[in-house]
C-alpha cells in the first residue's frame, strides 16, 4: 500500500519592525583576530525583535499570513504542532504550548525540537510528514523563531565582536496537509554527532551559561573552529541536496529553485557553484535579514513565492546545515501555488 502524499501547502513569515543597519555595529567594532574573517562580513541590514517580544508572539505574527489566505478555520483540524526556538525564553520548556494556546488549537502532538538549528525547518517537515503518515493526522503546523540577535548579540560586551552584526531575528510557519496540492517529493536528514560539541558558548570569566557572572555569553569562535565549520558546511549542504535530487530523478542543475539557510555570502556562493546554479535560481535574503538561522529557509522561500519568482509546478529544493556541522537536511517539493 502506497503511503499518503503530504504537502507543504503554504509558508508565511514575520520580520520585526526594528530594521538595524550595519552602521549600528560598526560604531562598536573591536579589532581582533577575527575582524577580517570572511565569515563575518556584515549584511546591510538585519531585524531585531523587541526586548519583550517572545518566540510565541513572533510565531503568532508569522501565522497571520496563512490565516489571511486560508481563513481562521484552516487551523480547526491541525493535529500536530512542532516548534523550534533559537533561544527559548523559559528553561526546560519550549514555546509549543504557548503557541497552541495563542492560536486556539489543541493538537494531539505538541513537540518542541531543540536540535536541527539552521536545518530545523527541514527537520520538522520530515518529522511532521512521518507522523502524519503513521497516524493519519490531517494537518501539521511547523514553526521557527529566531530571537537571539536582539537579545544576545547587542549586549555591550558582545556587540563589538565580528559575529554580532551577522544574525537577524524573525519567524516563519509552514502548513502541511494530507493532499497532493504541493507534494513533498523526497527528504534527507543526517546527524553528525561527532561535531555536536563544536558549537560552544563562552563568557569571560568562563562559566556555565545558566550561572550568574559578570561576563556576557556569546558564541565561542576561533580561527580553527571557523575553518572546520567552513569545510563542513561547504560539503554537507551539497551532499544532502544532491541526494534528494537523485531521489526525485532530477539533475541538481535542473532544479527550478534552490533555497538554503543564509549564514553568509561565502557559503551562498559556494553552494550554488557546487550545484551548478546561477544566482537568480538561488534566492538570497542575507543582505536584508542577515543570518536567520532556522528561519532562513522558510522565510527565503516565502519571499520568493510572494514576489512571484516561485510559481505553480516549480520544483523547489531546500537544504541547510546546522551549528558547527552536527546536522544537515534537504527536501524537495513541487510547489502548487497559493
Q: CB 322: neighbour CB atoms within 10 A?
A: 27
> Is the per-residue pLDDT at 33 higher than 80?
no
In the chain, where are the structural domains located? 6-180, 185-334
DSSP state of 34: T
Q: Which of 262, 42, 49 is nearest to 162 (CA)?
A: 42
Rounded Cα distance between 225 and 198, Å, is 7
> Is the per-residue pLDDT at 273 higher than 90?
yes
At residue 335, the pLDDT reads: 98
> Is the per-residue pLDDT at 68 higher than 90?
yes
At residue 91, the pLDDT reads: 84
Q: Does this chain's domain 6-180 share its CATH topology with 185-334?
A: yes
Report the CATH fold assignment for 6-180. Peroxisomal Thiolase; Chain A, domain 1 (3.40.47)
Contact between 169 and 43 under an 8 Å Cβ cutoff? The reply is no
End-to-end CA gap in the chain? 30
- Cell triple for residue 336? 502548487
Q: What is the pLDDT of residues 76-100, one digit of tens each?
A: 999 999 999 999 998 888 999 999 9
Contact between 147 and 54 under an 8 Å Cβ cutoff? The reply is yes
Q: What is the overall mean pLDDT for the chain?
A: 95
Q: CB 293: neighbour CB atoms within 10 A?
A: 30
At residue 37, the pLDDT reads: 80
Tell me the helix, strand and coil percentages in the chain, rounded to 5: 35, 25, 40
Q: What is the pLDDT of residues 116-147, one digit of tens each?
A: 999 999 999 999 999 999 999 999 999 999 99
- Residue 154 three-state SS: coil
- Residue 238 three-state SS: helix
> Is the per-residue pLDDT at 1 higher than 70?
no
Of the ranges 198-202, 228-232, 302-306, the best mean pLDDT one: 302-306
- Cell triple for residue 140? 501539521
| Cβ neighbourhood burial of 62 (10 Å; 0-12, 13-18, 19+) | buried
> Is the per-residue pLDDT at 35 higher than 90?
no
Q: What is the pLDDT of residues 181-225, one digit of tens each?
A: 999 999 999 999 999 989 888 999 999 888 999 999 988 888 888
At residue 48, the pLDDT reads: 98
Cα torsion angle, 125, 141, 284, 316, sign = positive
> Is the per-residue pLDDT at 50 higher than 90?
yes
- The CATH number given to 185-334 is 3.40.47.10
Rounded Cα distance between 312 and 110, Å, is 31
Average pLDDT over residues 288-314: 98
Amino acid at each position: 500500500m502506497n503511503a499518503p502524499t503530504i504537502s507543504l501547502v503554504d509558508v508565511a513569515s514575520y520580520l520585526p519592525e526594528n530594521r538595524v543597519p550595519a552602521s549600528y555595529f560598526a560604531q562598536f567594532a573591536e579589532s581582533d583576530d577575527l575582524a577580517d574573517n570572511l565569515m563575518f562580513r556584515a549584511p546591510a541590514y538585519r531585524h531585531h525583535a523587541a526586548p519583550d517580544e517572545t518566540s510565541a508572539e513572533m510565531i503568532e505574527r508569522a501565522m497571520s499570513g496563512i490565516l489571511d489566505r486560508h481563513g481562521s478555520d484552516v487551523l480547526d483540524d491541525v493535529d500536530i504542532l512542532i516548534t523550534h526556538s533559537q533561544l527559548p525564553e523559559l528553561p526546560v520548556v519550549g514555546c509549543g504550548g504557548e503557541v497552541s494556546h495563542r492560536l486556539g488549537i489543541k493538537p494531539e502532538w505538541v513537540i518542541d525540537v531543540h536540535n536541527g538549528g539552521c536545518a530545523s525547518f527541514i527537520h520538522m517537515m520530515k518529522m511532521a510528514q512521518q507522523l502524519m503518515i503513521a497516524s493519519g493526522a490531517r494537518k501539521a503546523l511547523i514553526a521557527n523563531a529566531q530571537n537571539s540577535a536582539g537579545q544576545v548579540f547587542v549586549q555591550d560586551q558582545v556587540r563589538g565582536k565580528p559575529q554580532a552584526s551577522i544574525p537577524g531575528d524573525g519567524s516563519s510557519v509552514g502548513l502541511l496537509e494530507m493532499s497532493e496540492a504541493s507534494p513533498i517529493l523526497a527528504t534527507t536528514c543526517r546527524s553528525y554527532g561527532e561535531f555536536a560539541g563544536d558549537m560552544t558558548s563562552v563568557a569571560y570569566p568562563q562559566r556555565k551559561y545558566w550561572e550568574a557572572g559578570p561576563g556576557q555569553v556569546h558564541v565561542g569562535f576561533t580561527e580553527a573552529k571557523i575553518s572546520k565549520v567552513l569545510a563542513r558546511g561547504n560539503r554537507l549542504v551539497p551532499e544532502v541536496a544532491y541526494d534528494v535530487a537523485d531521489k526525485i530523478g532530477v539533475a541538481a542543475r535542473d532544479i527550478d529553485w534552490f533555497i538554503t539557510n543564509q549564514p553568509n555570502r561565502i557559503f551562498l556562493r559556494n553552494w550554488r557553484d557546487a550545484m551548478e546554479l546561477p544566482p537568480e535560481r538561488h534566492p538570497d535574503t542575507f543582505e536584508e535579514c542577515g543570518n536567520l538561522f532556522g528561519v532562513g529557509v522558510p522565510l527565503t522561500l516565502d519571499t520568493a513565492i510572494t514576489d512571484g519568482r516561485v510559481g505553480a509546478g516549480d520544483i523547489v529544493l531546500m537544504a541547510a546545515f546546522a551549528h558547527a556541522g552536527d546536522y544537515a537536511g534537504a527536501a524537495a517539493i513541487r510547489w502548487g501555488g497559493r
